Amino acid sequence: MKKLTGLTILILLLAGCKWNPLHDAKGPNQQPSNEPSYLSENENIEQDKQQTEKPTSSGMTKEKEPPDQAEEDELALEAAYFNEVIEVDGKKEIVNAANTLALVNKTFALPVDYTPDDLVRPNVPFSFGNQDIEKSYLRKEAAEALEKMFAAAKKDGIQLYAASGYRSYSRQQEVFEAEVAQSGEKKAAQVVAIPGNSEHQTGLAMDITSESANFFLNEEFGKKPEGNWLQENAHKFGFILRYPKGKEKITGYQYEPWHFRYVGKEAASVMYERNWTLEEYFEHASKI
C-alpha cells in the first residue's frame, strides 16, 4: 500500500512540471542549451516563431524589408556620369570634363586647357549690366535652366542678378593670386579654388546676388528673401546650393549661399530632398 501511495505522489509531481519545448528541439548530437528551463510561455512562443519563420515569396524573411526600388532607381547612374580620372603632375585630372555631373573639388581637377564648347550668354539681368564678358557665359543647358529659374523667381516677386558664371583656368589663376596677396595662401584656399579645381571652369556654376545684398557675394545673401527663395526652389530647375552651411568639412569650402551649380533636375531633386552635397550624392550613387 505504501508503495502504491508513493508511486501515485511521484506521478502527480511529474504531471505538475512545465514542459519546455527547447528540450525536445535538440537532436542527440546537439550541445545542451544555455537557456534556462524556466522560460516563460511568451518567451518560448517567440523563440519558436523565430526558428520556424519561413521566407516570403520574394525570398526575404519577414524581419527584412525588401529594398525600395524607387530609391535604387533614383541613385542609379550611367557610368559616364562618374569622374574618369588620370594622374597628371600629382593631380587627379578629370578626363570626361564635359560631364554635367562632373565632381570638381579640391581632390578632382579639370584639365588646364578645358573650355566648354557650348558656352552662351543667358538672357538674365547681370549685376555688372550688359557687358559681354567671360563671366556672363554658361553652358547652353545650364543657361536655359537659369533663364527659367530667374523668370519663376520674378513671378514670385524675387529679382535675381547673375554675378559670375564661366571662368577660364587663366582667369581663376588671377582671382586666386589676388586672394593670396590679400589674405595669404592658407586663407585663400578656403574661399577661392586653386586654378583647375574651380567649378566655374565647367561652365555649369553661377554666382547669384541681389539688390538687397548690395550686389555683394557674402553670407548675408543667404538671409535675404532672394537667397531663401533660391535655397528652396533652385532644385526645381536643376541647380544645387553647392557649398551649404554645415557641410564645410565635406566640400572643403566655407558656406557660399550665392554659388549655385547646375546638375540637372533629377540629381538636384535627390540632393535637395536628402540634404546632400555633390560629394555625398556620389557616395550613394551606383553605376549601371
CB atoms within 10 A of CB 160: 24
Q: Which three cell numbers stand for residue 52?
A: 520556424
211 is annotated as an active-site residue: no
d(CA 229, CA 208): 12
CA end-to-end span of the chain, whole Å?
A: 86
> Residue 160: which of 101, 237, 100, 105 has the closest Cα?
237
93, 199, 226, 256: which one is catalytic? 256
Q: Which three cell numbers stand for residue 128?
A: 555688372
> Residue 22: which of 31, 33, 13 has the closest Cα?
33
3-state SS string over the chain? CHHHHHHHHHHHHHHHCCCCHHHHHCCCCCCCCCCCCCCCHHHHHHHHHHHHCCCCCCCCCCCCCCCCHHHHHHCEECHHHCCCEEEECCEEEECCCCCCCCCCCCCEECCCCCCCCCEECCCCCECCCCCCCHHHCEEHHHHHHHHHHHHHHHHCCCCCEEEECCCCHHHHHHHHHHHHHHHCHHHHHHHCCCCCCCHHHHCCEEEEECHHHCCCCCHHHHHCHHHHHHHHHHHHHCEEEEECCCCHHHHCCCCEEEEEEECCHHHHHHHHHHCCCHHHHHHHCEEC
Catalytically active residues, by annotation = 256
